[in-house]
A = this chain, B = another copy of it.
Amino acid sequence: MSDKNLPNQVSANTLRRLPYYLSYLKTLKNTDVSYISAPVIASELDLNEVQVRKDLAAISSVAGKPKKGFEIDVLINDIQAYIGCDVNNCGILVGAGHLGRALLAYSGFEAYGLNIIAAFDSNPAAVGKDIAGKSVYHTDALLDFCKKTPVTIGIITVPAEDAQEICDLLIKANVKAIWNFAPVKLCTPDGVIIQNENIAASLTIINKKLAEQF
């Protein structure tokens, strides 16, 4: 996890909200609505209105017009440009278990510039399989693969006890960023971007709301 301020004073929390704005705004495309106000966005996404205004001001040069609000198409383009939908990052995934397979089959990553080109696993039963059009190779073949095809993002979906070893291997293979789904803190050298994912994190929010409500 990294919530330090990022380039251009945009916080990680703002960045994390952008995909939600984007997917909501996209639902309004091809409707007869062409402008939307910050209060409506805030209400639809259960966010604070001031926060919405601040987020959109940070990433879009188009100010909301009084009464009319933001032009939806422009806002969509600005968010897409900002979050790097136009980049093309090659990724590989290590650990073709259920979570790995779910990520391989997930169709939403390309919209964020990530193209997962292959998967790796040390289990012979998984090696040679084709998951959502991506081949699963033996982990032993990872270094050679990355020599031939430079990879930007390494995704770790192996069990916690194997995660550091895989992390070291990915660093040796010169990936620039590691997206870690294993529930363990990894040691990485300076200069390698690490993004830890904790699938259970949202439960803290659900629990608090349940406690408040009942």
Contacts and interface: CB of A to CB of B under 8 A. Distances in A.
Interface of A: 1-7, 10, 12-13, 15-20, 23-24, 27, 44-48, 51, 83-84, 87, 89, 97-99, 101-103, 105-106, 108-109, 111-114, 152-153, 176-177, 179, 183-185, 191, 193-214
Given A7-B208, A83-B203, 6 more contacts: A16-B204, A46-B194, A98-B101, A109-B203, A176-B210, A177-B210
Contacts of A109: 200, 203
Contacts of A103: 199
A4 B17 CA distance: 12
Contacts of A213: 176, 191, 193
Contact of A212 (B6, B46, B185, B196): B6
A194 B198 CA distance: 19
Given A47-B2, A112-B200, A13 B10 contact: no
A6 B193 CA distance: 31
A183 B98 contact: no
A196 B48 contact: no
B183 A23 contact: yes
A12 B205 contact: yes
A206 to B, nearest CB: 5
A102 to B, nearest CB: 4
Contact of A99 (B102, B196, B207): B102
